[in-house]
Amino acid sequence: MTTPKKPPLSVVEPPSTGTRPPSTAPKPPRPLGEHGMKMWRSVTSEYPVEDIGGIEQACAALDRAESLAASIAADGEVIYLRGCPKAHPAVKDELACRAFVVRTLQRLGLNVVVEQSRPVGRPAAGIGITWDKLRETE
CA distance 94 to 56: 18
Q: How many domains does the chain fold into?
A: 1
Would 89 be classed as within a structural domain? Answer: yes
According to the model, what pLDDT value does residue 113 have? 45
Give 89-101 as a DSSP string: THHHHHHHHHHHH
pLDDT digits (tens, 9 = 90+) for 64-96: 999 999 999 999 999 888 889 999 999 999 999
pLDDT digits (tens, 9 = 90+) for 2-60: 777 877 877 766 655 555 555 566 888 888 999 999 999 988 888 887 888 888 999 99
Range of the domain at 79: 52-110
Q: Is 33 helix (H, G, I), strand (E, B) or coil?
A: coil
CA distance 2 to 95: 65
Query: pTM to 2 decimals?
Result: 0.62
Question: Within 13 A of 138's CA, how many CA atoms are on the CB side?
Answer: 5
CA distance 75 to 55: 30
Would 90 be classed as within a structural domain? Answer: yes
Would 138 be classed as within a structural domain? Answer: no
Would 78 be classed as within a structural domain? Answer: yes
Would 101 be classed as within a structural domain? Answer: yes
Distance of CA 131 to the CA centre of its chain: 44
Cβ atoms of residues 37 and 28 within 8 Å: yes
Would 39 be classed as within a structural domain? Answer: no
Would 121 be classed as within a structural domain? Answer: no
Q: Is 118 helix (H, G, I), strand (E, B) or coil?
A: coil
